[in-house]
Structure 1
């Protein structure tokens, strides 16, 4: 399968419209304030915890492309069910191949035998007889590796030496969209991205080409969260609350998806911007699925389970009680008391008269 190089449109775009970010375990490009593209968070709610991605929309919010980071898997060379490969004669031949060469051959080696052509059957069979059995067994080995690692709906596949990216073209029933898998092998781990794009819109091809130009493995690290967030803080305030700021925050969060507080603050900060609902929808849904609340400060947007609503109301009531105690303390004439302990006892008596929790109030008052 040949990699589409795209047209002039792909390469004539200003580089200022895109920026590479360390996102999860990859270096990936994102558009920033692009005149034709919106990028929004994409999270697979049916998948595992780390399946994050992004959707690329036109200004009418029609989908042009999307990617989703899939779970990684181990790259193993053994075929335990095939005893043939364990025979010393063939095993020695397999061991001559490096793991990197085997990986590349999975996407490039032609497994078909040479056709008969115009030769007579005797000549053709004589040619087949000359084929080294070890080469035949190696082709069988590659076939079994493909059966193990390639999806059943694989159509075409290719490998690009300049980037180390392997691509599988997947069959689907939607003629408007093309589905692909991007693979990167790093230290015996296969990292995967599922990519889909609209074949009838040039901007879908633009997104695809931008990703294939930039994609590379980069180990996820909380240090990257700190670095990206520091860059985010350097943006102008208006940039921090629009799409540009969203991309920075989303990329930073991709390294710490289990940090509840980061997700909450990201949502609440983006709510300050105008027209940000398109970016917030997936974050709202994801937060509600995991934590029972979408963390919104907007009463019209707030969605929470009955349990989370009860927790919030209890905390609100508790906070209000503490504030009331503080106000009450300020309104009392200290000259009426001989010492601080006498004042505290007076306040505790008032709390008792109101049937409040004396132990809790005692701790609060004596800590001030």
Structure 2
């Protein structure tokens, strides 16, 4: 696949309000719709728990790269057997042309997402880290616009709402970076986390050393927010790339496992180059690593991939606002973490922008079931299900193996 192949592969699949994949492309599961929504709620609560446990592990001195390497290794041990046993009948659809998308999934969703999150978490706190997660669908829209996968018409009300939502989300993120405000809950002197020197962090994710240029230039808090924004952008790219892959290779657990193969290898390589001071993890930090590997990585990522193929990325991302509630509550109850006015105001702006963006996108979709009778709507959907959209034709050229190719397993 050429470097220009990815935008072509993604064309016709706007992320915001994309809804379910075309009929016949998604894995045919017997999951009722309500169970998908319950699963997404569980995923976000699990992520909130992870925010607190990861903070405990980092505060105990566990290196970020060591944490990620062990987490990904545990996830692979859980995902690979599940993929080999549960989706073997679909593996003949795998093609060498999927290698580039798998690499990009691992680079964004695993390496960039995890590493930037841990760096940002250690420099800010669980509440701030969770409050920025709802910006993921907004960054997904931005990425779609940059790649030409979506368009904005300023005269349409839906697009106007999307633009206002983008402004609110960006403004909320900037506010959280530059304004902390008075203490609202908890006890503290205004520092959300100990100084960089106490955490053993440097300006790079490799760790080691003191505060470095980060604390002297942009400050620990601001650098943490920047890292968290990068984390959200990585996840947006992951969701964007994942949809067309699932369109032609409807094996969500295998797609997740392949992303982890790439991401874990890259994480291990970076860790070996960084030479962390210790690879030993014991006690509560070890429990946090196991939870991160089995629950946050293996279970959550697999559930999100299944949900992405079932209800679309906009609905998956819509559940992110549950993370700040779970994370802030647990951090306050378990860690006595302070909550500042800036985090609350910024979080409200981010959440408001999120709902405007998603609402604006959904408002542009014609309500066919109200415009047509039930029978006519059913017939229309049945007829359109047999038609191949332009995006699907592009997918055929980019990632579907030709009849003469040997499929890779």
TM-score (norm 1): 0.23
Query: Higher strand proportion, which one?
Result: 1
Query: Higher helix proportion, which one?
Result: 2
Say which structure, 1 or 2, has more relative contact order (CA 8 Å, 6+ apart): 2
Higher Rg: 1
TM-score (norm 2): 0.21
